[in-house]
Structure 1
Amino acid sequence: MRQLLFSAFVALGLAGCGGAPVEHTVPQTLAFAQVEAEETKIAELTEMLLRLGPGVDLEEAARVARIAVEEPLVWARQWGVVDAPIIHNMQVNSGRKPRGLCKHWAEDLQQRLKRENLQSLDLHRAIANYDSILIEHSTLIVSAKGASWDQGIVVDPWRLGQGQLYFTQVKKDPKYRWLERSQVFAIKRERKARKAEREARSGQG
């Protein structure tokens, strides 16, 4: 099935996937091996998206996979991403590079996919390491329409560096344990409120 999907999505890619065009043109100088690797990754992600449920549309899954693989490569060039993710983070935080933090990849990919008006897939945001000494990490998750976020697939252009997409099932992520972003924000608001209350009581004393 994978070989069949691969062949189908190469054809879909050349035809623009039959939907809104991906704003990315593969440079003529790009080696065929790299193009083939990208097409393989697109086919693998499409297959994973289809496994999310019987209601996932094939053309829509193929379109999401192509955008998720190709668009971050464009952003990597625009943002000057040439170093490892942590090094690039330092450059962004120091003002030397414009974008490229994990939240930037997640935000831009979410906004790009929203433009596709997806009917069989949902988009979610999640955060890991919010409560540890490790660096907090944000990502985008794609699930079947109406399904819980934790039943979806992590699509993370930050992790491998230079816009190379990493993807895996949420519950099988070997590196991160995710929480829905709204839940993390709620926890942080509650902690901030408790801290303010303690400080207010301390000031009154």
Structure 2
Amino acid sequence: MKSLFATLLILTAVTLAGCSTNPTATKGDVEELSVALQSLDPQVDPDEARRAAELAYSYSAHLARQYNVTTSPIVHNTLVNSGIKERGICVHYAEDMQARLNQENFQTLTMLRAIAEPKNEFRIDHSTAVIAAKGNGIYEGIVLDPWRYGGKLFWSATTEDSRYNWEPQLKVLRRKYERRMAKEAAAGS
């Protein structure tokens, strides 16, 4: 009964979500991100900022095609988590975006990862890539979130993203580990 309900829920969501269009970026979008990257620090190379901005937009769209995203991100997550699709949840976008931008071997920019734990019990963690000036952390960087709009890049200063409370990935993972260990210790007492 549970699997029938889940299947009906997925089919309903897919039908209501409709097909998404291929995300596109304008020259102005890329220029705006490039300027924001340059403003992170006076040492940021303008050519690196431009290249990073171009790649962030083009690779976001590439990932949506690669993951075969045809629905909303939440519906796509359900399809991945149920085994119908292989990739395309936020952590996949974050991993792949970070890996692709790291291939550029930027000298003045660095790629980082952030996680936002849910604000309520009905939501799940959200992962993203963050780009910052070399030597800076996520709070001085810019969130690059291609998952949020199904391959259309969302970006903002980390501290100005009103939808999520971003923290460094390792800090969140360490806290989750400590919670799990405390829970296991309490259960074993």
TM-score (norm. length: structure 1): 0.77
Unaligned stretches of 5+ residues in structure 2: 1-21
Counterparts in 2 of 1:114-129, with a 5 A limit?
Answer: 114-129=102-117
Cα distance in 2 for partners of 1:196, 1:110 equals: 33
CA RMSD of aligned residues (A): 1.7
| 2:45 paired with 1:67 | no
Which of the residues 63, 80, 102 maps onto 2:90? 102
Q: CA deviation at 1:135?
A: 2.0
Counterpart in the other structure of 2:162: 174
Cα distance in 1 for partners of 2:23, 2:83 equals: 33
Counterpart in the other structure of 1:140: 129
SS at match of 2:80: helix
1:198 counterpart letter in structure 2 = A
TM-score (norm. length: structure 2): 0.83
Cα distance in 1 for partners of 2:184, 2:34 equals: 47
Q: Is the 8 A contact 1:106 1:139 kept in 2?
A: yes
| 2:171 paired with 1:186 | no
Counterpart in the other structure of 1:4: none
SS at match of 2:152: coil
Counterpart in the other structure of 1:150: 139
Displacement over 3 Å in runs of 4+:
34-37
Counterpart in the other structure of 1:19: none
Q: CA deviation at 1:36?
A: 8.3
Are residues 191 and 37 of structure 1, via their aligned partners in 2, closer, same or farther at CA, if it must alter by over 3 Å?
A: closer
Are residues 168 and 192 of structure 1, via their aligned partners in 2, closer, same or farther at CA, if it must alter by over 3 Å?
A: same
Cα distance in 1 for partners of 2:112, 2:100 equals: 13
Work out which of the two has the higher radius of gyration on C-alpha atoms and give 1 or 2: 1
Cα distance in 1 for partners of 2:24, 2:186 equals: 58
SS at match of 1:118: coil
Task: Give aligned-pair identity as a percent.
Answer: 41
Q: CA deviation at 1:86?
A: 0.3
Q: CA deviation at 1:130?
A: 4.6
Count how many residue pairs are aligned between Structure 1 and Structure 2: 167
Cα distance in 1 for partners of 2:52, 2:188 equals: 49
Counterpart in the other structure of 2:69: 81
Are residues 50 and 92 of structure 1, via their aligned partners in 2, closer, same or farther at CA, if it must alter by over 3 Å?
A: same
